[in-house]
Amino acid sequence: MAIIDYNFMSQSLMHPTTVKLVMPCNNKPEYVMIFLHGVLSDANNCVSNMDVQGMADRYKVAFIIPSCGNSFYIDHGVAFGNYGKFVGTELLERMRKQFSLPMDREHTIIAGFSMGGYGAIRNGAKYCDTFGTVIGLSSACLYEKSVNELNKGKFGYYKLQMFDKVFKEKSVPGNFSENYKYVIEEKLKKGKKLPFFYISCGREEELRQINTEFVNYLKELHVKCYYNLSHGEHNWQLWSREIDKALMYVTGGEGENSFVGKGV
């Protein structure tokens, strides 16, 4: 397998950026996946805390892992970086030009954990012509109903002060176009085909309720999805285990996990 640090000048971010590319050992991936980190993390943390190399081999997946700060993977304008556009269009286009990666939608995945789960859901829906599958692990599915919980500081790092900084004056995320619900509903109105959503969360997580609500929301809209609940808290141990399960499920591969829970 190969781990490549690839640096280039990003037009979306308006500055140079380095992404990690992890290829399977035969350098012939059947799937390509953009994997988005959470708050206070980066691409190096993902490679250090997860068996990325092993999963690349087991499931024949090329991992593309950017480092995007605490951006929530939305568009902040030219001065501060259009992170949604970066992960939704520019990054994949650039990597496909430089490396031998799958080109079709059905074999293109966007995934992430925590804040990265929000980014995967939002951008997977927004760029639904590009991504065939979304994997959200412990996703920070923040919207109107969760603002009161943010005020209480319930979600740890997801405090309202930070949320306001990220989303500027739009402190109620249901009222603007960066919100994943808005994006999903706009795509459905236009008759677009949305990706398949694989959503996973730990039973002991504070984010469990809003992930369950999100899955119910998808079902109400008749959007294809799968919900996996398993024991665990908001940490690397859970995400490392669950991304392996998710890839086994969506690729049909055979990983170390012999069982994928059916959730609720």
User: Which of these, 120, 61, 123, lies nearest to 253 by C-alpha position?
Assistant: 61
Q: With 60 as the cut, is the pLDDT of residue 153 above it? A: no
What are the domain boundaries of the chain?
2-251
Confidence of residue 80 (pLDDT cuts 50, 70, 90): confident
Dihedral, 176, 178, 181, 186 alpha carbons, nearest 10: 80
Give the residue, 210 or 162, on which the prediction is more confident: 210
What pLDDT score was predicted for residue 239? 98
Query: What is the phi-psi region of residue 234: left when phi exceeds 0, alpha when psi lies from -120 to 50, beta otherwise?
Result: beta
In contact, 177 and 185? CB cutoff 8 Å: no
Over the stretch 197-244, which tens digit does the pLDDT of each residue have? 999 999 999 889 889 999 999 999 999 999 999 999 999 999 999 999
Over the stretch 90-136, which tens digit does the pLDDT of each residue have? 999 999 999 999 999 999 999 999 999 999 999 999 999 999 999 99
pTM of the entire predicted model: 0.89
Rounded Cα distance between 17 and 34, Å, is 15
- Class of 2-251 in CATH: alpha beta
pLDDT more than 90, % of the chain: 71
